[in-house]
Structure 1
Amino acid sequence: MLGGDPQGPAEAWAALGARVLAAVLIALAPFLSSNRIAARGRSLFLGASVLFLALLAIWTALRSTSLASLEPGSEERPLFELTVTLSILVVLALVAVLGFAVRFRDHGEDLDSWLALGATLTLFGELHYVLTPNLASDVVSQGDFLRFLSYSFLLVGVWRAISFAEFGRAVAEERARVAREIHDGLAQYLFAVSTHASMLASGAPLETTLPKLQQAAAAAQQEASFAVLALSAASGSSRFDAALCRYVELLTADGALEVDLEIQAKMLLAPDEQIEVFRIVQEGLANVRKHAGASRAEVWIGERGGRRIVRVQDDGVGFDGEDVAAGQGMRNMRRRAETINGGLTLTSRPDSGTTVEVTLRA
């Protein structure tokens, strides 16, 4: 036990009962789906499990003096009852293996494959306990090792499921953000196209209306391209560096701004970091194009001094630092950097350009 005292019969029987209950829950888990069982039924099942544990604790407390010892080698050890209990654990482990395997075959989810593998190791561990009983309590058997491996596989599976869920959440948030930007940007340009087309149909002067229509259509096309790139980067269907290079090509297609992009090959970014870095660079270059009056910008993404750096630098007119920091674009970039545990610094002086640098932990 944790306190160093030897394990008594009450604790041993309580542990065995808890193992049986845990095996029952794991065996039933593959067959319990939110689509098949109502929330009330699941609550009742969990309540019954808690009640079983409470009754088991009360029973072991009342019979603590009359319970047989489960210590290996003890003459009081009930071999038949213990063998039956361990056999039940084997059957429950087999049910869990079959259940998770069927679920993986039907749904193909990554978590089910890891659960099936962990349950398989548990099955062989329980079989080892039945066929090769422990002769001493201080011996670590092959069954113990198999059970440890099964717990490790279960932990890896759960960790991967949580990671995938977090990535899915980040993708959903990015899609919602892109949808808002489409509404605020692309939709407005399309409305301008529709308005100027209606003006032409109503007899508006061609020489003044047509250039505005062409300008609005070009802006709408560019906004649509940016939205597609952002969505492909967010969903993981496009490589981060390829999507960023394509974005720079679109941004500089009209020749108004020259952008040098450098991404170190050894630079590694997690999926959620790729999304936010892409949007930070996009926001930074958009600010350069709209407000900086720059002819050239540099984007550098790499490692320096044990830290990962994302830097956007331009040769524009520069700004007063306080005015820039208070802008909506800077607030957006700072918020995105914070979501990936990064820090953002701004360096800007009049007539000396602006540098935005995001530092991420290595």
Structure 2
Amino acid sequence: MLHHRRTRLAVTAFLAGIALMASACGNASGTADSTAEASSTSSSSADAHGRVAVSYEGGISVLDGATLEVVKSFDSEEFTRLNAAGDGRHVFVTTTAGFQLLDMAEPKLTDLVFDATAPGHVVRHAGNTVLFDDGTGTATIVKSEDLATVNGSLPQTRTYTADAAHHGVSIVLEDGTLLTTLGDKSSRPGAVALEAHEDHWHSVAQSKECPGIHGEGAAADEAVVFGCEDGALLYHHGKFEKFTAPDTYGRMGNAFVSETSPIVVGDYKNDPDAEGYLLNSVALIDTEKHSYNVVELPDTVNYTFRDVARGPGDLAYILSTNGSIHVLDPKDGKIVDEFPVIKAWEGPTDWQDAHPAIMVNGDTAYITEPAAHTVHSVDLTTGKITVSKKMDVVPNEIAVTVGAH
């Protein structure tokens, strides 16, 4: 029987954990949805290559990060999303029941599930992992280190529930501040910063200048950026600041960040009626200089939300439809290198459709090539493919853990 958990603890319990949260180590962020993390796991057998989880229709496979050999496969639902849990050992599998824990060390698809009626974003930062339930507007906060030692039952959690259910996202900062989106089923206008008091949550800052708010990313010095349909929203040093896109409609839906770089790379779309999911521009947000610029990429560089990651040198690595990784310098938006990896591909009809994706762990990029049923690892310092492995299934989503075994 699946073990489920949704615990609403008193705000006093949240306050008791603030000191620990403030001193906890965060992950080295790669992208909004997919992060190769520098984990604080205590596993004595930590491996720099970690392990790779790959979802496919009806199942999930765990691969060895060095050889890409299948360690074990599990049956699951027709479509699942994968997110590293933040503890260096587990991956959250998004199912109709909620957020299910996949133990990459055993490996084992556990029966431990954090309940959610419509599980959405998973955010790892400052030693906390936050799960957002779009169906209830509830953000469930768990200490990442507690996930590493689960043994038959889920750890204690803290929760905050928004005034209305919406497709949202939340992040906990080092000082315990909870940043979370505002919205309901018809609109999402912005975000709010909350502090925990003895019997309530207190709003310390709020902005409703971010229509269609979606995604988040924490850059250097905990400068947090959310995407808007007309630009981006920054929260830094206790205040919100709006960046306005150069186009009337200039949607940024995902923030690709490095916690050692002040510059956020955002996906960018300026035509609300454009068909498909391919994009050809990026937004560059310098959180130190408070600047927002849109860079149109070369015609050969077209990508989706799965195809951007931050990596060595705080550069951005964009997997394009021409089959190459294009290396972008966020400081000026210029393409500085190109690594051919896979065959040319076309954009998906639906966002859930299997199409190439990139995930970065240290100097290694893991690339899925659904058309060839193959997963590749690429050394980003040389651009060379180190391993290619053909699978018996069509790879879809991908997640990486460090020190999984």
TM-score under structure 1 normalisation? 0.25
More strand by share: 2
| Structure (1 or 2) with the larger CA radius of gyration | 1
TM-score under structure 2 normalisation? 0.23
User: Which fold has the larger relative contact order, with Cα–Cα distance below 8 Å and residues 6 or more apart in sequence?
Assistant: 2
More helix by share: 1
